[in-house]
Structure 1
């Protein structure tokens, strides 16, 4: 199967309203896209999967997937999942995928901001500490300064960034992420 995103997979499925029948190739592309979409849903954790508006038949097929061990059996089962996907509400599934994607983007941006804080604290020292404490007054200043000093020493000596990781964890916990 291809490594397309759920958005790309759903875009491949065209629900045409015109009188013209889709070509055999188009039907195969749609079938493969639905099958890949089903695989993407199966690969999710049960908590993530619970957000999707899936029918009882689809949920049973997803649970059944974990018990199938043989390669050929799994291949046939994935074809069955693709067939079941045709009956699902693709617009609602797309909306949930969009929401999950948006949350992931927000989370990534938040982590990038935290990484920027970590790098700024290590590079600028006390000037950055005051700015960070102004934004997060509940941080333990002594631990923060100690981790910054240790991270600076590690960077100078070319050692693994253990203190930088601890500093990131402290920043993340302080920011509430």
Structure 2
């Protein structure tokens, strides 16, 4: 019996477009756990005021009391898992005052330069911020360029830019440590 060649259509690839690879998913989990560590550095009163689920607040407070290295690592994995259900923008906006307005403006300039100039700026950003992933930055930039080519509304473009800015902000928070 003759073998039929696999013929993939553009529709097959469009279904997969926008989905994160396993590596990207694992890196996102690691970033969330690291953000949990950032949140655990806040004082208990600030943690109680976080606009997140009560289980997450309890997990962060528990992490502050754990002294065993392996137990802390597992607890921060749990915190990272709980953080996935929360709005990234809210959590980052809560941690942003630690960075300051000057740092936020600087990160916004990085985002603008990444969108405008692409790979050379992405490489420069990765040298400055060791927690950055070139592939993820490229994917965000490509999505924004694709959205601009599709002539999407300003609100949809702003959403894509916000995703890139959130990623850049996360990387900056994690690289400062």
Larger Rg: 1
Give yes or no for TM over 0.5.
no
Q: What is the TM-score with the length of structure 2 in the denominator?
A: 0.43
Q: What is the TM-score with the length of structure 1 in the denominator?
A: 0.43
